[in-house]
Structure 1
Amino acid sequence: MKIITYGNKNNKSIFFIHGLASTADLCFKLLLPYLQDYFVIFCELDGHYGSKPKDLTSMEETIDSIENYILNEMGGSLYGLCGFSMGATIAVELIGRGNISISKVLLDAAITAELGLMAMPFTYAFIVGTSRIKNKKPIPKFLLDKIMGKDNLSIIEMMYPQISKNTIKNACNFIYHYKVPENLTKFSSPVMFWRGSEEPIPAKSEKILREYLPQMKIEVFEGMGHGQFLHEHPKEYAEKLKIFLENK
Structure 2
Amino acid sequence: MKKVTLLVVPLILALLFGLLQGSYSAVGHWLYNHATDLEASLYGLEQKTVVIKAEEGSAPGPDALVIYHHKNPGKPAIIMLHGYSADKDVWPRFAKHFTDDYEVIIPDMAGHGDTGFASGWDYTMPAQAARISRLMDALNVPAAHIIGNSMGGFLTATFAIRYPQKTLSATMVDPAGIREYPQQSRMEKMLNAGHNPFFIRQREGFDTFYPMTMENPPYLPDIVLNAIAENYIERRPQLEAIFDQFYGVDFLDDQFDELQAPAMLWWGSEDQLLHVSGAQVWQQHIPQLKVHIFEGTGHMPMLEETADSAAIYHDFLSGLSD
Structure-2-length-normalised TM-score: 0.62
Q: Which amino acid aligns with 2:102?
A: Y
CA apart distance, 1:88: 0.6
Residues in 2 aligned to 1:226 and 1:180: alpha-carbon distance in whole angstroms: 20
Give the alignment partner of residue 70 of structure 1, picking from 136, 160, 165.
136
Give the alignment partner of residue 30 of structure 1, picking from 70, 78, 93.
93
Residues in 2 aligned to 1:215 and 1:42: alpha-carbon distance in whole angstroms: 27
Instruction: Describe the shift of the 1:125–1:155 C-alpha distance in structure 2 as closer, same or farther (beyond 3 A).
Output: farther
Residues in 2 aligned to 1:186 and 1:123: alpha-carbon distance in whole angstroms: 34
Q: Deviations over 1:111-169 (max 9, x none)?
A: 123369975757622112xx44xx477634xx766x546x5545986x68535123322
2:231: which partner in 1?
162
Larger Rg: 2
Residues in 1 aligned to 2:257 and 2:264: alpha-carbon distance in whole angstroms: 15
Does the aligned pair in 2 maintain the 1:155–1:226 contact within 8 Å? Answer: no
Does the aligned pair in 2 maintain the 1:3–1:42 contact within 8 Å? Answer: yes
2:289: which partner in 1?
216
Instruction: Describe the shift of the 1:137–1:173 C-alpha distance in structure 2 as closer, same or farther (beyond 3 A).
Output: closer
Instruction: Describe the shift of the 1:214–1:71 C-alpha distance in structure 2 as closer, same or farther (beyond 3 A).
Output: farther
Give the alignment partner of residue 193 of structure 1, picking from 248, 259, 265.
265
1:171: which partner in 2?
242
Residues in 1 aligned to 2:277 and 2:311: alpha-carbon distance in whole angstroms: 26
- The answer to whether residue 207 in structure 2 is matched with residue 139 in structure 1 is yes
Give the alignment partner of residue 117 of structure 2, picking from 51, 54, 67.
54
- The answer to whether residue 311 in structure 2 is matched with residue 242 in structure 1 is no
CA apart distance, 1:38: 0.6
Does the aligned pair in 2 maintain the 1:22–1:160 contact within 8 Å? Answer: no
Instruction: Describe the shift of the 1:72–1:33 C-alpha distance in structure 2 as closer, same or farther (beyond 3 A).
Output: closer
In the alignment of these two chains, the number of paired residues is 236
Give the alignment partner of residue 109 of structure 2, picking from 38, 45, 69.
45
Does the aligned pair in 2 maintain the 1:112–1:205 contact within 8 Å? Answer: no
1:205: which partner in 2?
278
What fraction of aligned residue pairs are identical, expressed as a percent? Answer: 17
Residues in 2 aligned to 1:191 and 1:108: alpha-carbon distance in whole angstroms: 11
Unaligned runs of 5+ in 2: 1-64, 181-187
Q: Which amino acid aligns with 2:244?
A: N
Instruction: Describe the shift of the 1:220–1:122 C-alpha distance in structure 2 as closer, same or farther (beyond 3 A).
Output: farther
CA apart distance, 1:238: 1.5
Unaligned runs of 5+ in 1: none
Residues in 2 aligned to 1:160 and 1:35: alpha-carbon distance in whole angstroms: 31
Q: Which amino acid aligns with 1:188?
A: Q
Residues in 2 aligned to 1:120 and 1:55: alpha-carbon distance in whole angstroms: 28
Does the aligned pair in 1 maintain the 2:111–2:123 contact within 8 Å? Answer: no
Structure-1-length-normalised TM-score: 0.79
CA apart distance, 1:171: 3.1
Higher relative contact order, structure no. (Cα contacts within 8 Å, ≥ 6 residues apart): 1
